[in-house]
Amino acid sequence: MAVRSILHYPDPRLRIPGKRVAALTPEHRQLIDDMAETMYSAPGVGLAATQVGEPWQIFVVDCALEGEPSDLRVFINPEILASEGRIVFDEGCLSFPGAREDVERAEKVRVRAQARDGQSFELDAEGLLAVAIQHEYDHLQGILMIDRLGPLKKRLLHRMMLRRTESSSVASG
């Protein structure tokens, strides 16, 4: 396993939708393991393959609370089948370091995907797990947290991320 670099907004690769995984390979399983290690070291509760520059419909989430055992879940070729209710959740994103924004999402979702072993499953989720699934699913469609904000918050977050990018390139240059 290896910790991979996470792409940061405004990297254009974050806008490229992931491709379906036709057949699960050892390379995909290695990617999943690397994504889990990367997510835990960040630390975050979810990570999509597109956030590490890999063009696949794969994401991982672990919504276990501090001190609880790991609850790592792998979603390959996910589809959101149903959603209900509305919730506003204070979200962060590993591709938007330091940013937190209120984002409106469905309160509950039903998702179908394949697990790490390739077996299909369906899952009903609510609360943080439902939010994390929707957030990571968006990444696989090329949709980012900033796209879910109103015009003013979108402009402010965009500027904040540009300043962060500029200051980090000045520091490394």
Spatial distance between the Cα atoms of 103 and 73, rounded to a whole number of angstroms: 22
- Do the beta carbons of residue 123 and residue 75 sit within 8 Å? no
How buried is residue 151: exposed, middle or buried, by Cβ count under 10 Å (0-12/13-18/19+)?
exposed
Question: CA–CA distance from 4 to each of 20, 31, 128 (Å)?
Answer: 21, 9, 25
Residue 125 and residue 111 in contact, taking contact as beta carbons nearer than 8 Å: yes
136 is catalytic: yes
Token couple for 1: 């396993």
- Token pair, residue 11, equals 């990297």
- Cα–Cα distance for residue pair 164/73, rounded to 1 Å: 31
Name residues whose C-beta falls within 8 Å of residue 35's C-beta, 6 or more positions apart in sequence. Answer: 4, 47, 49, 52, 58, 59, 60
Name the catalytic one among 37, 126, 136, 166: 136
Active site residues: 136
